[in-house]
Each structure stands twice: as C-alpha cells, then as structure tokens.
Amino acid sequence: MLFFTQCFGAVLDLIHLRFQHYKAKRVFSAAGQLVCVVNPTHSLKYAPTRCATVQTSAEQGVLPPCHHHEAVHDPQLVPCTCPLFSCPWQGHLEVVVSHLRQTHRINILQGAEIVFLATDMHLPAPTDWIIMHSCLGHQFLLVLRKQEKYEGHPQFFATMMLIGTPTQADNFTYRLELNRNQRRLKWEATPRSVLECVDSVISDGDCLVLNTSLAQLFSDNGSLAIGIAITTSKVHNTEDEM
C-alpha cells in the first residue's frame, strides 16, 4: 500500500505539472514561447538577511562571521548570488552559473521570450520563486518574492538580475508582463547586476511590485504567469555609435 500510495502521488504531481503547463500556454499563446513551471521555496536566510547582517555588524564595529568583507576588498571574487540561502560560497563571475545549478539546483531556460509560471501563490511570506534565463549570450536571474514589507500586508516583488557587471547590465532591457482576463500589466527596466544585493533592490522598490489583490487579479487558481522578454538597449547602442 505504501508503494502504491507513493506511485499514485507521483502520478498526481505529474498531472498537476502538465495542467499548470497547459494553463500557461493558454494564457501566453505566442508561438515559440517556453514555459517554466516554478515551485515556491521558503527562504532560509530571513533571520536576518545577508545584507542586513553586514549592515548591523558594521554599525556595531564587529565583522560578520562570514567572508563577505573579504569579497569587498577583492573585486575578483563575488559572494553567492542565490537569494534563497545564506551561502558562504564566493568565486568569480564566470563560475556563478555552475554554482547556482549544481549547488542550489536552479533551473535555466533559454530563449529571448519565456513564461515564468509561479505556483502556490497563497503560501505565507516569505517565499521565493527563482529561475535562470539564458539569452543574448548572457545569463539572467529572475527572482519573484512574496514578502511582508509592512506587517500583515504581503506583497510580491519581481526583478531581473544580470549575472555580470553593472556596465554589462546597462546594455539590456527586460520586460515583465502579466496578461489575464482582458487586463495587461507591464514592467520594463534595466536589469541590475548580481553584484548588487537582491534585498536592496526589493527594499528600494526598483522592481515590479504587486499587492495581494492585484496579484490575485492576474493569477489563475493560485498560479501567476509572467511573460519575460529581454532585449539589448537601443539607447546604449546609439551612444556607442556617437
């Protein structure tokens, strides 16, 4: 009975995954778009966040126990860019992608336009949904976070980070699009570099921000489909030619 129950549960999970994939295809029917179903992960580093730890320790005049300050003095090394964990890893930008895939099992999708389908939006905050997006010869990190910026009022924050330098990030533009029930909402901006802290980007509000009622308006049975498109920045191309 135990074996049968486990097998039956696996079949139900597969059916649920296929159903979620179908729903995303129905919402975003453009030919050639790839759909990535992303399950939520409860963050393990919110007590407190890595950036808050560094700031608090600096105010007290005590160095934090991790090696974050060593990375600041050595520009060749960067800390782990995964926002889900307080990971002590640090290394060169060239190996960040392999670290995220091998250590944190972050999925990666290829293509100029993809659909990010976040499931189980009803789960309590803090919760993260994260994937890597490979296109135009670079890798990007898409982070969707449910977080209470004010107590009792959870919000959703979505941002795109380039796994590269801030100068490289300025050469791109990303667009996040929600489209459901004859309603459309778009956010377009320049991606931030992973050398910056994801927590700071969310705290500054420099990203797509949805309150609970707005997220429910665009969700479908607890899942939120976000269309993602990345292009090169025409402004920077014009400036380079001049």
CATH number of the CATH domain containing 159 = 2.60.210.10
Q: Does residue 195 fall inside a structural domain?
A: yes
Q: Does residue 67 fall inside a structural domain?
A: no
- For 159-169, letters b (16+ CB in 10 Å) and e give bbbbbbeeeeb
Give the pLDDT band (50/70/90) at residue 17. very low
Q: Does residue 132 fall inside a structural domain?
A: yes
Could you give the number of structural domains in the chain? 1
pTM over 0.85: no
Give the pLDDT band (50/70/90) at residue 7. low
DSSP bridge partners of 131: 142
Q: Does residue 239 fall inside a structural domain?
A: no
Calculate the average pLDDT of the chain: 76
Q: Does residue 71 fall inside a structural domain?
A: no
Q: Does residue 134 fall inside a structural domain?
A: yes
**Strands 113-118, 34-38: pairing kind:** parallel
Instruction: Give the pLDDT confidence score for residue 238 in this predicted structure.
Output: 40
Q: Does residue 241 fall inside a structural domain?
A: no
Q: Does residue 19 fall inside a structural domain?
A: no
Least confident of 49-53, 90-94, 156-160, 207-211: 49-53
Domain that holds residue 121: 32-39+78-232
Instruction: Give the pLDDT confidence score for residue 175 in this predicted structure.
Output: 96
Give the pLDDT band (50/70/90) at residue 75. low
Nearest alpha-carbon partner for 152 in 200, 207, 212, 199:
212
